[in-house]
Amino acid sequence: MTTVLITGANRGIGLEMTRRYAAAGASVIATARHPETADALSKLAAESGRVSVLPLEVANEASVAALAKAVAGKPIDILINNAGTLGSRGGWDDPAHDLKTWTEVLATNVIGPHLVSRALVPNLKLAKQGKLAIVCSHLGSSEMAAGGILPYRASKAAAINLARNLAVELKPLGIAVVAFHPGWVQTDMGGYNAAVKVGDSAQGMIDRLAALSLATSGVFEDYSGKTFPF
């Protein structure tokens, strides 16, 4: 049975991917910062019997270490670094782009995926064909820079770069890596006027992960398979 670990699974895209993987018969380790208040995820776990919920704050080394300990020795076929945060939406002079916001955004969107990936590579190695995704954003494309939302854009640019470099380093270990743009998706982050339904984004990325191989490792693509410039 395929085992998938998804971060930030209590709402939005992570919750929908959890729902769909479980419905398709996978075993899902769904992480949330606060499992005790993750009502939709707890309900899904109780109903499906295929979802186990574990606590994870991706920007906290002790929390990442506790997760690694909880899943030690267990093969993980697919790791999805989905948890992310937006910060403030303004441009260069937005006073909300202070050190605290920058630090939170970079820690969650870049450092967290690295800490989590590093901690779980042993589990991916135990799988027949380990696959690792970082949910990035086309807002992180340097070629497509349009200004605004500066900490988020910079964090996602770094997340894409992280995915590219992990693809190189993990290829000899047999682990394939993808950087995703999930689309502009109807969630708390994307807003409910966004263009893409959360189910379409989640299913698209599930399908792209099924197609991912060592030959395509390092790709930066959206939920429909459209590639983006770095």
**Binding region for ligand NAP (CB under 6 A):** 7-8, 10-14, 33-34, 56-59, 82-85, 108, 112, 135, 137, 182, 184-185, 187-190, 194
Residue 152 catalytic? Answer: yes
Give residue 96's identity as a one-letter amino acid code: A
DSSP 164-196: HHHHHHHGGGT-EEEEEE--SBSSTTT-TT-SB
Retrieve residue 60's tokens: 């906290």
Q: What angle do CA 119, 123, 128 make, to 5 degrees?
A: 145
Whole-number minimum distance, CB 174 to ligand NAP, in Å?
26
* 74 counts as catalytic: no
In the complex, least distance from residue 222 CB atom to ligand NAP, rounded to whole angstroms? 9
3-state secondary structure of 78: strand
What is the dihedral sign for C-alpha 13, 14, 15, 21? positive
- Selecting among 74, 156, 171, 226, the annotated active-site residue is 156
CA 13 to chain centroid: 9
**Which tokens belong to 214?**
């060592």
- 108 three-class SS: helix
Shortest CB 160 distance to ligand NAP, Å: 11
Distance CA 28, CA 76 (A): 9
Which CB atom, from 83 or from 219, has the smaller least distance to ligand NAP? 83
Helix or strand run (H / E) with residue 45: helix 39-48
Q: How far is the CB of 14 from ligand NAP (least distance, A)?
A: 5
Calpha distance 213→217 (Å, rounded): 6
Give catalytic residue positions: 152, 156
